[in-house]
Chain A
Amino acid sequence: MSKLHIATSINGEPVEFLADPSASMLDALRGPLGLTGTKEGCGTGDCGACSITVDGRLVCACLMLAVESEGHEIGTIEGMAQGDHLHPLQQKFLEMAALQCGICTPGMLMASRALLEKNPDPTEEEVRFGLAGNLCRCTGYDKIVRAVLETAAEMRGAA
């Protein structure tokens, strides 16, 4: 079957693209849309490296067909910084070296932001449960969890 014309919104910008009916949203983002910030890890919804938001809700881009994005609001890691101004989570991940190889980082940031939007004052346990869908093979998670907790504290102070 021929490709389908899809009109969606990505990081607040209207976007139109052609999608193979069997292509995942991850395929579309990293392929025709050229948004390679979203990473492919497992491709089966286990690792969270491809975390994006759909209408504000965190999902795995690998578990969604590209054609399903029609008419929805997609958010990716490319929309997290405002120009040169990093999101506080991005800044804190850098300062606290909450990454090593970096493959999990975009997904960790997307999931952390989703967590803090719902719960600005999480306990360490809540952060660990909130990020349970994101696998990291390098850091042992501790640096990531500490960076999320510190960012939460700073954002509460700034609010």
Chain B
Amino acid sequence: MTDIRYLAPRTLDEAVGAFAAAAGAARILAGGTDLLVQMRNGVAKPGTIIDIKKIAEMTSIEETADGGFRIGAAVPAVALAEHARFGKVWPGVLEAINLIGSKQVQGRASPGGNLCNGSPAGDSVPAMIAAGAVVTVQGPNGRRSMPVEAVPAGPGRTNLQPGEIVVSFTLPPRPAGSGDAYLRMIPRTEMDIAVVGCGVSLTMAGGVVTAARVGLGAVAPTVMLVDTAAKALIGSRLEDAALEAAAAACRAACKPIDDKRGTIVYRTKVAGVLLKRTAAIAAQRAGGN
């Protein structure tokens, strides 16, 4: 690693200013669990590293007045696990974030980094999409918000504008009867990259699904929202026909690759299987609320 500048600004404005001034030669450091590995193997050669963890907004978890949550982009996974309320309201998002790497990695790894790393297999992203999370970004032209699913552009790429930094995720308040879940398929029991990842969030009333969102990962160049699967669930009592229709919608949305973890055929089939299993867990949690 060569001549690198390290900056740890105290305010977001300073961070945005430094990031813009570096004109593409800087990298944002949140947890660092991807960046340091990329620097070590030469994939990333930043001239400047901008550590955002000294900015309070980036590292705090707040319950909003309406009952939602605002999570700073650099909050480590372990802080979400330690939070008294977060995992009760969004168990699926928490379990997704807590599948990223080992306990050691979770001590640093952040949802902002997981999203900006741009991996199609990032575990927190399908769960965040299912949750309807909105990201707030700030750049030289000010602040804007977009749904999480609008951020990934392809493997390792995002739709952020030059100089923009992800600041936080906002998760909406949950109506009564809501539940979410995340499942991934991996060849091992722990510490692996998703072959398929599926996040489902449901709201139910009297046994009928009134709202649903489905996020799918590792089966296309980007993690994606699968609206057609959600539509197949809404209005149903999660009967076999509705679940099969949603599973078929997931399979239809897949554009996976063949690689050492799974073939196109396998990933596509598993996407449908995971949708059914994940929806069942989300429904059970919705009933328990």
A residues near B (Cβ < 8 Å) are 1, 4, 21-24, 43-46, 48, 51, 54, 57-60, 62-65, 67-68, 70, 111, 114-115, 129-130, 132-134
CB contact between A133 and one of B49, B51, B104 (< 8 Å): that residue: B104
B103 touches A70 (CB 8 A): no
What are 8 A-B pairs with beta-carbon distances under 8 A? A22-B2, A46-B191, A48-B104, A58-B104, A65-B29, A65-B49, A67-B6, A133-B101
- A22 — which chain B residues lie within 8 A by C-beta? 1-2, 4, 39
- A62 — which chain B residues lie within 8 A by C-beta? 36
CB contact between A45 and one of B5, B29, B33, B41 (< 8 Å): that residue: B33
B105 touches A63 (CB 8 A): yes
B40 touches A43 (CB 8 A): yes
B36 touches A133 (CB 8 A): no
- A83–B40 Cα distance when bound, in Å, is 36
Q: Could you list 5 further interchain pairs (A-B, Cβ under 8 angstroms) beyond the known A45-B101, A115-B103?
A: A4-B6, A22-B1, A45-B102, A63-B31, A133-B105
Task: Give the secondary structure class of B's interface.
Answer: loop
B residues near A (Cβ < 8 Å) are 1-6, 8, 29, 31-33, 36-37, 39-41, 49, 51, 53, 76, 78, 101-105, 107-108, 190-191
A58 touches B107 (CB 8 A): yes
Output the least CB separation between B91 and chain A (Å): 17
Output the least CB separation between B111 and chain A (Å): 16
CB contact between B104 and one of A23, A60, A65 (< 8 Å): that residue: A60
A54 touches B107 (CB 8 A): yes
Output the least CB separation between A65 and chain B (Å): 7
- B190 — which chain A residues lie within 8 A by C-beta? 129, 132
A65 touches B32 (CB 8 A): yes
- A25–B8 Cα distance when bound, in Å, is 16
- A58–B78 Cα distance when bound, in Å, is 9
A21 touches B104 (CB 8 A): no
CB contact between B108 and one of A21, A46, A63, A129 (< 8 Å): that residue: A63
Nearest 9 Cβ contacts at the A-B interface: A133-B102, A22-B1, A21-B6, A59-B107, A132-B190, A57-B107, A22-B4, A60-B104, A133-B104
- A155–B53 Cα distance when bound, in Å, is 36
- A48 — which chain B residues lie within 8 A by C-beta? 102, 104
- B102 — which chain A residues lie within 8 A by C-beta? 45, 48, 132-134
B36 touches A24 (CB 8 A): yes
- A128–B123 Cα distance when bound, in Å, is 21
B2 touches A64 (CB 8 A): no
- B1 — which chain A residues lie within 8 A by C-beta? 22-23
- B104 — which chain A residues lie within 8 A by C-beta? 45, 48, 51, 58-60, 63, 111, 133
Output the least CB separation between B2 and chain A (Å): 7
A58 touches B103 (CB 8 A): yes
A130 touches B6 (CB 8 A): no
- Report if A60-B6 is in contact (Cβ < 8 Å); known contacts: A65-B29, A129-B190: no
- A115 — which chain B residues lie within 8 A by C-beta? 103
CB contact between B4 and one of A1, A64, A70, A134 (< 8 Å): that residue: A1
B32 touches A63 (CB 8 A): yes
CB closest chain-B residue, reference A133: B102
- Report if A64-B36 is in contact (Cβ < 8 Å); known contacts: A21-B4, A129-B190, A132-B191: yes
Output the least CB separation between B104 and chain A (Å): 5
Interface centre among B1, B36, B53, B101 (most CB of A within 10 A): B36
- A67–B32 Cα distance when bound, in Å, is 12
- A58 — which chain B residues lie within 8 A by C-beta? 103-104, 107
Output the least CB separation between A143 and chain B (Å): 20
